[in-house]
Amino acid sequence: MSNMTDTSYPPGLELEDRTCPTGCMPSDEKVLEGRDRLHGVPGRFTLVRCRACGLMRTNPRPTPETIGLYYPNDYAPYKPDDNPRTKTRKWRHRAKDRVGRFFGRDTRRLPDVPPGHLLEIGCASGNFLIEAKRRGWSTEGIEFSEAAAETARQRGLHVQTGSVETVVAPQKQADIVAAWMVLEHLHDPLLALGKIRAWLKPDGYFVGVVPDASAFDHRLFGPHWYALQLPTHLYHFTPNSLRLLLYRAGWELVQLRWQPNAMNLLNSLDDWLQEKNRHNLLRVARWLKHAKRAGVLRRWLGWVLGLTRQSGRMEFWARPISKTKAEP
């Protein structure tokens, strides 16, 4: 670990070097270098791949104590849902949710089990917890950002501030633990996954979403790959490396689904076109990203990408491996 005095990094940043968390002998290959393209905080970081198991990680990386420098308060997931339509036209949004779930467009799908207790890791300002309560679940959350966690508490939710690796056990065991776009942010995923097992009932589910580093937009756009998000994305999963990490932590992957979503590809294309000064094509790409009239095209593109496992977003469901279950 070293203090960073170079002016190309934010003051106070510390970096640390870590080996592959699955226990492999140190043997890494460099994949690419990049910077924070989401918020423009200075610094350059390296993505490496473990030659033994294929798991990719950011290394060296900011320490747990200083990585908050790359999570500004305007980080999108921290923002509450203040859309007035959500408050005044709830019936319409509920109908839209049902239609989305029917056609597989629900980005936060839960197993079909009776409502019980739900713990969300990385709950931000509590938007999903509020939706889960509306569906009949009792809820609590864990959130790294103090500002976002305080917003959630002001909305009547029980939320701890901290990382999975450092917080105390939740109020009670959960029927479902949800972690939407969380695993890639964890400094010690094996420790975190072990704690999550202890927080879950033996017959419960661990559900979540992670970016898919095997998607073609990673290979096509390289450092412009939207889901790269250096340095806050510390791990970069493929289906095989996700399955291996879960197994090493005592989990069985029971379902893997590629979400029908085109935004990873469109955001990667947007960033690449900006860099190449392709302004005419950039206008077309942004029309496709944002225009209401392009909504049908976005949905069809997302459906095709999900069907071909190229959407860049993997949804997983996992269950604890029984102690009596034989090794594969």
- Same domain for 53 and 84, yes or no, is no
- Same domain for 140 and 31, yes or no, is no
Tell me, yes or no, whether 198 lies in a domain: yes
Phi and psi, residue 156, nearest 5°: 90, 15
Tell me, yes or no, whether 327 lies in a domain: no
Residue bearing tokens 């975190």? 192
Domain boundary among 53, 70, 87: 70
pLDDT tens figures, 99-153:
344 444 467 899 999 999 999 999 999 999 999 999 999 999 999 889 999 999 9
Residue 106's pLDDT is what? Answer: 62
- Same domain for 255 and 139, yes or no, is yes
- Same domain for 194 and 220, yes or no, is yes
Q: Average pLDDT by consecutive 10-residue portion of the chain (328 residues)?
A: 60 95 91 94 96 96 94 67 45 43 63 96 95 95 93 95 90 95 95 95 96 95 95 97 95 96 96 94 95 96 97 97 60
Residue 23's pLDDT is what? Answer: 86
Cα dihedral 251/254/258/260 (nearest 10): -120
Q: How many domains does the chain have?
A: 2
- Same domain for 95 and 242, yes or no, is yes
Tell me, yes or no, whether 48 lies in a domain: yes
- Same domain for 60 and 105, yes or no, is no
Tell me, yes or no, whether 308 lies in a domain: yes
Continuous H helices in the chain: 84-88, 90-102, 127-134, 146-154, 189-199, 216-221, 239-248, 263-275, 279-290, 295-307
- Same domain for 100 and 27, yes or no, is no
- Same domain for 250 and 282, yes or no, is yes
| pTM for the structure as a whole | 0.86
Tell me, yes or no, whether 229 lies in a domain: yes
Tell me, yes or no, whether 328 lies in a domain: no
- Same domain for 183 and 83, yes or no, is yes
Domain boundary among 52, 70, 88: 70
Closest CA to 319 of 220, 232, 250: 250
- Same domain for 226 and 267, yes or no, is yes
Number of alpha carbons in the 13 Å side-chain half-sphere of residue 94:
9
- Same domain for 202 and 282, yes or no, is yes
Domain boundary among 37, 53, 70: 70
Tell me, yes or no, whether 326 lies in a domain: no
> Domain with 145 in it: what CATH number?
3.40.50.150
- Same domain for 9 and 92, yes or no, is no
Q: Which domain holds residue 42?
A: 2-70
Closest CA to 209 of 163, 264, 170, 171: 264
